[in-house]
Amino acid sequence: MEIKIAIRESDVSDEYLRFARQIGVDGIDIHNSFNIPGVKERGHPDFNGFLKLKKRVESYGLKIFRVSAPPVRDYLLGRPGGEQAIDNLRRTIECMGKLSLSPLVVTLNVSPELWRLGEIRRTHRGGYIMHAFSLRKMKEKLESGEAFSVDHEKFWERCIKLLEEATAMAEDLDVKLAIHPQDPPVSELEYPWTVGFLGLNKIFESISSKNLGVLYCCGTRYEAGVDICEEIRYFGKKGKIFHVHLRNVRGKIPITGGYEEVAIDDGEIDLFRVLKTLSEVGYKGAINPDHVPIYVGDRENNMIAWAHAVGYIQGLLAAL
């Protein structure tokens, strides 16, 4: 089986790396760029520090499967500090190339405020807790004055300009760049500066490169109300899926007005069918459970939850 399993780095301590090795994953994802040496202090990786981290991860028989780039929101929104954000991205791509790491995930989601405005918490089976989202709550808060707006034409101009430069550099250094779809996946017609299916195609039509693709988030795309297996076939056959978030949810925004994130075995998505479809399109990258519940007695870094999610995926892959 070519598909590998990764988990987020709750931290990059030796204890956590030992845990990851013990539960049988193939590697980790560096989701929080601040866990990369140098990023917190100066906005981009310190090469020598990152090299030491890579070697330490590999010493446990693990691999780094993807890295989150430092944020570029200031540039996309035309805010002060935008040019520094671009320079940080350039330096990060250069570092990734030297370390032979891919993909680098560039976040084009400029609206975490929308998630915050609509966020709620739900209790599920046996009392475990996970995040949920209400479109009605988000809109009520927007209407009450918590406004968030983006000049979508300027956003897209900056977005394409940024990605053109970043992709050219990534091609030279043999680094893949992946885009995570909008979370929460609100309507692209109502919020035209969000990046779902339409936005991804807009980007890929503007920038034709084998080094530019998508981090396909099954949960986010299911929440958007789409047939995720059809989207996997669409992007997979084009060779555009560089990484996968495999998580489960209940509800779709266009139908239920929101959604609830749930444990990997407790939702509406047929994850076996998803893995089968990924296999059919020749996907050979890593999959990550991405979001996990808060279980009773679990420690701060959710070891019980990660182990449960990984074990479930291992069972699915064995069945496949």
Q: What is the mean pLDDT of residues 187-212?
A: 96
- Reduced to 3 states (helix: H, G, I; strand: E, B; else coil), residue 96 is helix
> Cα–Cα distance between 244 and 298 in angstroms, integer?
25
Query: Which sign does the torsion angle of CA 205, 206, 208, 210 carry?
Result: negative
User: Which sequence spans correspond to the domains of the chain?
Assistant: 4-110+151-251+262-319
Q: Assess contact for 11 and 35: CB atoms under 8 A.
A: yes
pLDDT higher than 80, residue 211: yes
Detail the DSSP E strand segments found in the chain. Answer: 4-8, 27-30, 63-68, 104-106, 119-123, 129-134, 177-179, 212-217, 241-245, 248-250, 258-262, 286-288
pLDDT in tens, 100-142: 999 999 999 887 778 889 999 999 999 999 999 999 999 998 8
Q: Is the entire prediction scored with pTM above 0.85?
A: yes
Question: Is the backbone of residue 66 left (phi > 0), alpha (psi -120 to 50) or beta?
Answer: beta
Average pLDDT, the chain: 95
pLDDT in tens, 217-272: 999 999 999 999 999 999 999 999 999 999 999 999 999 999 999 999 999 999 99
4-110+151-251+262-319: CATH, from 3.40.50.410, 3.40.640.10, 3.30.360.10, 3.20.20.150: 3.20.20.150
